[in-house]
Amino acid sequence: MRYLIADLVTEFEPKYESLKKLAAPFAYEGNRETDIRIEMDDAYIQSLLRKMVKGTAIEDAEGLAVSSAFNRRAIRFDTMLVHSSALVLDGKAYLFSANSGVGKSTHTRLWLKRFGDRVHIMNDDKPVVRICDDGIVACGTPFDGGSGIALNENYPLGAIIFIERGEENAVRVPTAKDVIQRLYFQTARTVGFETAEMMLDNFDKLIAGAKFLVLTCNMDISAAETAYRAIQNLEQ
């Protein structure tokens, strides 16, 4: 099967129902040549499953295996994963990124509660960004991290917001060094040595063309208000 993910024609054969269902909206029947080809055998998926948390389903292991392979290959096309919850507001995508357990998905759901039909979640765990000549685009993927939210959508990137847990809500603009460190932990750890130089080049392009914030927040709906005001100020 061929799929169009972040405008990259990607060929792979889902083996289990979960990935088949998530990938279906990305199906591609056009005439473009394949950009990325992924072959994944059962033995590798089983070996990955044995390394994951006990009780993880084989379907989740397949999703992780295919998404990791896609992300390694997509680097060659100025495209990379940003481990985040991608929220769309007024025609732009905002990526809320955090270490596991901090609450990125909880935070984006506060936006749904606060802003209603103005917002929706495009992907709740594994969106990618593609660096194009005319700007940076955030793209949905069929890789969801277990939430089931994985829409086939592409939007101009508004900003990447790194979330930290705190009792009070506060926002700051990070330094370039801070951004690189955070991107490494949310993006580059699955990258092999052979593509490391290209990843660093992507980092440079992303830092030059994107806006970034660090949001320290609690889990109250006021956190969404704080982040929204900071985003509006950033774009003025």
What DSSP element (H or E) covers 171? strand 170-172
**Residue-range domain boundaries for the chain:** 2-235
SS3 191: coil
> Which amino acid, 107?
H
The pLDDT of residue 213? 94
Handedness of CA 119, 123, 126, 131 (dihedral sign): negative
The fold of the 2-235 domain, in CATH, is Phosphoenolpyruvate Carboxykinase; domain 3 (3.90.228)
State the first-to-last Cα distance of the chain, in angstroms, to the nearest integer. 44
**Residue ranges of the chain whose pLDDT lies below 50:** none
In angstroms, the CA 164 to CA 182 distance is: 11
The pLDDT of residue 88? 96
Q: Are 115 and 181 in contact (CB under 8 A)?
A: no
What DSSP element (H or E) covers 170? strand 170-172
The pLDDT of residue 193? 65
Over residues 180-191, the pLDDT tens digits come to 888 887 775 556
Measuring CA to CA, how many Å separate 151 from each of 75, 121, 136, 202? 21, 8, 18, 24
Over residues 130-182, the pLDDT tens digits come to 999 899 999 999 998 778 889 999 999 999 999 988 888 899 999 999 998 88
Question: What region does 117 belong to: left with phi over 0, alpha with psi -120 to 50, or beta?
Answer: alpha
